[in-house]
Amino acid sequence: MMQKDKSRKPVLIKENIVLDCKAVTPEEAIIHAGELLLRSGYIKSGYISGMLSRDENFSVYLGNMLAIAHGEKGVRDQILGTGMSVLICPDGIDWHGNLVKIVMGLAAIGDEHMELLMHCANIFSDRERVERLVRCRDRERVYRMFGGI
């Protein structure tokens, strides 16, 4: 993975994992995921509006109960570092007609998002693994499932 440089903040920090999230709408989930990135210093506040706009124009739902909220190209200047947040919503969210139980917030510098997306594709390609992730109530275990990126 990309986190070879020990001077950089990890892409995913445990504080950015929310278990049993009660988000009701896609907009609320995106704002929550973005606020975690903001508080952790990965983004400036303007990035969140770009995340909302991205989902309005092109749904960020990817299948297998996953949505990856990320900003449009026009808000790249709002990214301070590559980071992600994870919201686990066991009750599910109606995401424009699709069921979402895991919402990831993603901000990436340059092409680092490609490596993250490939890593996440490996995790979310297995429906059983996704179900275990949704049922998990241990933040440390969820962090390990993402490989401590």
88 phi, psi to nearest 5 deg: -105, 120
d(CA 56, CA 145): 30
Both structure tokens of 98: 């699709």
Rg (CA), the chain: 14
- Known catalytic membership, residue 119: no
Q: Among residues 9, 29, 17, which one has the least CA distance to residue 91?
A: 29
Local structure of 81: helix, strand or coil: coil
- What's the half-sphere exposure (Cβ side, CA atoms, 13 Å) at 46? 9
Catalytic residue among 70, 96, 113, 119: 70
Both structure tokens of 63: 């299948």
- Active-site residue numbers? 70
